[in-house]
Amino acid sequence: MLVMLLLPTLAAAQYYGYGYETVTEKSFEESDLFFTSHFLNPFGLPRYRDVSVGLFDDPFLNLQLNPANLPTFENSSSYIYLDFRGDRTEAAIVEDYAVTYANTYEPLAIYDRGYYPYIDPRWYVSTRSEPEPLFSLGILNYPLGKNRQRLLLGGSYQLVHKEEPFYTVPDWIYGYRAGVDEIAAADPYFSATGPIIDRYSGVDEMRITGHRLSGILGYRLSSRIDLGVSANGLINSRDGQYGDSRIDDYGYYTPNESHYVNATSRIQDYDHFDLSGGMRFHLSEKVSAGVKGGFLSGTADQDYEAGNSYLSQYGREGTDPNWSYSRSRSLTDQNWHHKGDTRYGRIQLSAQASPVTRINAYYRFEQSDVDVRNFSLVDDSSSHRYHWEDIYDVYDGEYGYSFYDRRSGSGTRKRTVHQAMANFEWRLNERNTLRGGLYYANNQSDINTVEPVSARRFSSYHSTSNNENYSDLFRLVEEKELHWQYAAHYWTVQIPVFTHFQFNEHWGLMVGVNRILKSWEIDEETLALFDLRQKTDLEGTVTEQNFGERYTQPTRSFTEEFTDVIANVEVALTPRFRINLLLDPDFRNDFRVAQWWLGFRTSL
């Protein structure tokens, strides 16, 4: 019991500063949606998303390759696609960490969950992948009729909706662990021996809603030239709350009580508009070439708010021989605003090398420039008083802690992407086809931010034992500016191979494998320029002005390689209506279907 009373001398919330500097931008949750073109991809399973465009002969994939790649429908003027998708659940680069909470009647070991693990540096440019759409619908139509396939109109819509548990972000400026710091620092009574009545209310949810729309307009200008325009819009919202309210008393006649409230909310909104145009040139009956260019403009806003308060009382001051009283509160308000654009272009080439072989290739360039702004305010305080007597000694103590941090930052995020792919389609015989290719991508991401900071930190402790006194004091005042530079170089090589078997006019099977190699190299540096740092303790005050500290991380490299297998079962109920079941099995530990898509295709 005495150990618990003395814990406040050791357990203050973990402020990242004074020996380690971090910035608000590190807590921004990057998504694979942000400032990137998105489209209806019938073969877009996670490990085939990169290689599907240009490899599969699908109307929607061909139009994404170039909106001037106008499809040809035999004996029909319309094409409709519909699918339902199951999500694949895999560990992210940084897993979602459960929010720890106060529970005053469980053993101290439960609080081991509040530790802060090593943060993978890839998190800052690759935080999360979004869930799959509930359904995807695409329609293509030649309004002039099947015999005049000159003017093409089309569009697609995808709906995303998912509810999942709330989670914490593992890299905050202020390393506060909801409920853990106050308990470990203040509560002298982790284990109750009498009857316990818990009064609890809470909420733990995160909602994701997204709408993805596209429109396509194509026109065959002549037998040699096709034109196309595509417009895409995306709206995505993620918001959630975590609430935990606990009121514990230890029986009506027992003067012990604990009150704990934790309320946390997160709002994340993103939208963009993407416009592209293309031309396709039929150089001969066997060779065609195309060019595409596009511009995307988007905005990402994120808000995080948290409020925590805790009060614990054991015994009554002035009445009981042993007592303690603890209180704490913490308020956090943070927001991020990203606004920018992406410019991209693509060239493609397609050639019929022989009556049974077609070769395709493309090169794509993309460049993103995003302006970032962020703000953070953290205000925290706690206090603890106690009195304890035994046959040997009398203990009295008082502890106080406060922290204030206010900062606002600005900067840029830049990304340059090069993609290239060459692939072939080889018709082995009338029923079997082989597809294969080589895909390469090179991605350079750079983040540069400047963040002025005003921070105050104070702690004091005083105790007596048999007329022996112990005191401690610490006060820190900082006025500084943090410059953060982050560079991530990523490249990947992927080799997909697919074989299609057409058993008869009703049944078909496609089996594919993709061999993937990924590599990252990351450099990171934080420069802290101090206008003022003033430290006060029992020995006096030390004031430092106009100096700098540099924190340079060693270059970190990561490599991943894996092989993924998929299968696509095709059932043609009629020549104009087909059903596809796309399966992605997982062979780790035991066999399971990690993800499935069910698609329907019809021609009218």
CB 179 within 8 A of CB 102: yes
Spatial separation of the C-alpha atoms in residues 5 and 388, rounded to whole Å:
9
Per-residue confidence band for 169, with pLDDT thresholds at 50, 70 and 90: low
Residue 575 in domain: no
Q: What is the pLDDT of residue 316?
A: 81
CB 88 within 8 A of CB 595: yes
Q: Which two tokens stand for residue 134?
A: 């509930």
Q: Of 400, 319, 399, 387, which Cα lies nearest the Cα of 2? A: 387
Q: Which two tokens stand for residue 594?
A: 């990690």
Q: Which two tokens stand for residue 10?
A: 């050791």
pLDDT tens for 434-470 read 999 999 999 999 999 999 999 999 999 999 887 788 9
Per-residue confidence band for 191, with pLDDT thresholds at 50, 70 and 90: very low
Lowest pLDDT segment from 197-211, 513-527, 566-580:
197-211
Spatial separation of the C-alpha atoms in residues 419 and 444, rounded to whole Å:
12
Residue 251 scores a pLDDT above 60: no
Q: What is the pLDDT of residue 176?
A: 42
Q: Which two tokens stand for residue 119?
A: 């943060």
Overall pTM surpassing 0.75 (yes/no): yes
Residue 238 in domain: yes
Query: According to the per-residue pLDDT averaged within each range, which of 197-201, 261-265, 492-496, 587-591 is highest?
Result: 492-496
Contacting residues for 489 by C-beta, under 8 A, at least 6 apart? 442, 443, 444, 445, 520, 521, 522
Contacting residues for 320 by C-beta, under 8 A, at least 6 apart? 255
Contacting residues for 193 by C-beta, under 8 A, at least 6 apart? none
Pick 203 or 294 by higher pLDDT. Answer: 294
CA 370 vs CA 97, 236, 299, 453, 488: distances in Å: 28, 18, 9, 23, 16
Q: What is the pLDDT of residue 249?
A: 53
Percent of the chain with pLDDT over 90: 65
CB 314 within 8 A of CB 322: yes
DSSP state string for 78-102: EEEEEEEEPPP----SSPPBPPP--
Spatial separation of the C-alpha atoms in residues 320 and 299, rounded to whole Å:
59
Q: What is the pLDDT of residue 102?
A: 35
Q: Provide the b/e sequence for 303-329 (b: ≥16 CB within 10 Å).
A: bbbbebbbbbbbbeeeeeebbbbbbbe
What phi, psi does 40 have (nearest 5°)?
-75, 115
Per-residue confidence band for 424, with pLDDT thresholds at 50, 70 and 90: very high
Q: Is 237 exposed, middle or buried (0-12, 13-18, 19+ CB in 10 A)?
A: middle
Taking the mean position of all CA atoms in its chain, how far away is CA 517? 22
pLDDT tens for 355-386 read 999 999 999 999 999 999 999 999 999 999 99
Pick 55 or 586 by higher pLDDT. Answer: 55
What phi, psi does 538 have (nearest 5°)?
-65, -20
What phi, psi does 236 have (nearest 5°)?
-135, 135
Q: Which two tokens stand for residue 191?
A: 């284990």
Q: Structural domain tally of the chain? A: 1
Per-residue confidence band for 388, with pLDDT thresholds at 50, 70 and 90: confident
Residue 446 in domain: yes
Residue 583 in domain: no
Residue 168 in domain: yes
Q: In 466-539, where do the E strands start and end? A: 468-502, 507-537
Spatial separation of the C-alpha atoms in residues 80 and 106, rounded to whole Å:
57
pLDDT tens for 62-91 read 999 999 999 999 889 999 999 999 887 554
Spatial separation of the C-alpha atoms in residues 504 and 570, rounded to whole Å:
11
Q: What is the pLDDT of residue 165?
A: 76
Query: For 400, which DSSP code?
Result: E
Q: Which two tokens stand for residue 400?
A: 């106080």
Q: Is 399 exposed, middle or buried (0-12, 13-18, 19+ CB in 10 A)?
A: buried
CA 532 vs CA 3, 119, 537, 543: distances in Å: 37, 30, 17, 7
Residue 220 scores a pLDDT above 50: yes
Per-residue confidence band for 183, with pLDDT thresholds at 50, 70 and 90: very low
Query: For 168, which DSSP code?
Result: B
Residue 173 in domain: yes
Give bridge partners of residue 71 from the DSSP assignment: none
Place of tokens 């469980």: 106
Pick 1 or 185 by higher pLDDT. Answer: 1
Q: Which two tokens stand for residue 436?
A: 């294969």
Spatial separation of the C-alpha atoms in residues 305 and 383, rounded to whole Å:
23
Helix (H) / strand (E) element for 185: namely: helix 180-186
CA 391 vs CA 7, 72, 320, 361, 395: distances in Å: 22, 95, 15, 86, 11
Place of tokens 């293509």: 140
CB 409 within 8 A of CB 449: yes
Residue 281 scores a pLDDT above 60: yes
Q: Which two tokens stand for residue 501?
A: 């078997």
Residue 399 in domain: yes
Give bridge partners of residue 544 from the DSSP assignment: 533
Residue 401 in domain: yes
Q: Of 364, 26, 54, which Cα lies nearest the Cα of 169? A: 26
Q: What is the pLDDT of residue 171?
A: 59
Q: Half-sphere exposure of residue 80, counting CA atoms within 13 Å on the CB side?
A: 7
CB 46 within 8 A of CB 85: no
Residue 170 scores a pLDDT above 90: no
What phi, psi does 165 have (nearest 5°)?
-65, 150
Per-residue confidence band for 110, with pLDDT thresholds at 50, 70 and 90: very low
Question: Domain range spanning residue 444?
Answer: 2-502+516-556
Contacting residues for 159 by C-beta, under 8 A, at least 6 apart? 133, 134, 135, 210, 211
Q: What is the pLDDT of residue 193?
A: 31
Q: What is the mean pLDDT of the chain?
A: 85
Q: Which two tokens stand for residue 416?
A: 């340059």
CB 412 within 8 A of CB 448: yes
